[in-house]
A = this chain, B = another copy of it.
Amino acid sequence: MNKYGLHGKLQATAGKGAYLAQILLEASKLVSTAIGCRLYLVSQDSSNPDAVWVTEVWDSKEDHDNSLQVPGVRELISQAMPLLAGRPEKGQELEVLGGTGLEVELAHIS
C-alpha cells in the first residue's frame, strides 16, 4: 500500500525564515505522535533562506488531515501564520512507493 507524501514550501516574510523553521521543528515533535506520521522534515532552501520546506510521509492522506487535531498543532499554526508572506501554496502530493531510511520499513512494490 503506497504512502501519502507531501512536499511543500512556506514563504516567510523577510528575515523571518529561521523563526518559522523553529515553529515547524516544534510542530514536527507534535505530529510525530500522530497516527500514521512516518516523516516530517523541515528544511531551508539555501537560495531562499526565508522559504521553509516541509517534507512529509503519512500512512494515508486521512492520517495527515487528522493530525490537525493533535493538541498544540493549531496553536503552532496560529503562531506561524503571521510570519507568512502570503497564502501557503498547496504542497506537491506524491504516492510514496518505497525506499529506505524511514524508521518504519517501507514495503517495496513487487
Q: What is the interface size of chain A, counting residues whose CB is below 8 A from a CB of the partner?
A: 38
* A101 interfacial contact with B, CB 8 Å: yes
A63 smallest CB distance to B (angstroms): 13
Q: How far is the CA of A57 from the CA of B40 in the complex (A)?
A: 12
- Whether A43 pairs with B94 at a CB distance below 8 angstroms is yes
Report how many copies the assembly holds.
2
Kindly supply a per-residue 1/0 record for chain A positions 97-110, scoring 1 wherever the CB is within 8 Å of any chain B CB and 0 otherwise: 11111110010110
A105 smallest CB distance to B (angstroms): 10
* A29 interfacial contact with B, CB 8 Å: yes
Residues on the B chain within 8 Å of A28, using CB: 98-100
Known: A7-B55, A41-B57, A102-B39. A97 touches B21 (CB 8 A): yes
